[in-house]
């Protein structure tokens, strides 16, 4: 199993969710995060004082899938999240050792 972790622009969340639904992904976890990479931060002004804010709000989506579906999920997210502009985000693919469904105690791919 693989965990796909995508850091994306917040306004792309709905597009990605729909795209993943279409390829049969039934669940995901979403976190509001902040960070920066090649996209520069922004300026804020409060009563004449200017602040440069490095950390930009992003959303992190986590999806766990079976190995053979990982590429399809990565591509789907990439297509849905792409605006062509700097700051579109990153996708990480991480191996997952085991999954346990809390309610039933099922393990492995059935529990996803």
Partner 1 sequence: MNSGDIAWMLCASAMVLFMTPGLAIFYGGLVRSKNVLGTMMHSFIIMGVVSIMWVLYGYTMAFGPDMGGGLLGGAKYLGLAGVGADIGPYSDTIPHILFCAFQLMFAVITPALITGAFAERMKFSAFLIFTILWTTLVYFPVCHWVWGEGGWLRELGALDFAGGTVIHINSGIAALVCALFLGKRKGYGTEQMHPHNLPLTILGAGILWFGWFGFNAGSALAANGTASMALFVTQVAAGTGAVFWVIAEWIYQGKPTTLGAASGAVAGLVAITPAAGFVGPVASIMIGGVAGVLCYGAVVMKSRLGYDDALDVVGIHGVGGLWGALATGLFACEAFGGVNGLFYGNPKQFAIQAIGAVAAIAYSLILTAIILKVVDGVVGLRIDEEDEHQGLDLSQHSEVGYRIV
For residues 55 and 107, what is the distance between their CA atoms, to the nearest angstrom?
38
Residue 71 touching partner 1 (CB under 8 A): no
- How many CB atoms are located within 10 Å of the residue 65 CB? 23
Query: At its nearest, how many Å lie between partner 1 and the CB of residue 40?
Result: 16
Given the complex with partner 1, which of 50 and 110 has the nearer CB atom? 50
Residue 86 touching partner 1 (CB under 8 A): no
Q: Which of 14, 50, 97, 98 binds partner 1 (CB under 8 A)?
A: 50
The pair phi, psi for residue 10, each rounded to 5°, is -55, -35
Please tell me the count of residues contacting partner 1 according to CB under 8 A.
9
3-state secondary structure 35-83: ECCCCCCEEEEECCEEEEECCEEEEEEEEEECHHHHHHHHHHHHHHHCC
Q: Which of residues 26-45 bind partner 1 (CB under 8 A)?
A: 44-45
74 and 8 Cβ atoms separated by less than 8 Å: no
What 3-state class would DSSP assign to 1? coil
Q: Which of 46, 84, 85, 105 binds partner 1 (CB under 8 A)?
A: 46
Q: Which of 34, 51, 75, 107 binds partner 1 (CB under 8 A)?
A: 51
Query: At its nearest, how many Å lie between partner 1 and the CB of residue 60?
Result: 17
Residues in touch with partner 1 (CB under 8 A): 44-51, 53
């Amino acid at each position: 199993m693989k965990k796909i972790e995508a850091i994306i622009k917040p306004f792309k969340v709905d597009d990605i969710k729909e795209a993943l639904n279409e390829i049969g992904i039934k669940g995901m976890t979403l976190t509001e995060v902040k960070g920066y990479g090649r996209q520069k931060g922004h300026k804020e002004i409060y009563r004449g004082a200017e602040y440069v804010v490095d950390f930009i709000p992003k959303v992190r989506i986590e999806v766990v899938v079976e190995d053979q579906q990982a590429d399809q999920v990565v591509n789907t997210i990439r297509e849905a999240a792409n605006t062509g502009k700097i700051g579109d985000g990153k996708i990480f693919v991480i191996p997952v050792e085991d999954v346990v469904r809390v309610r039933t105690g099922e393990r492995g791919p059935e529990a996803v």
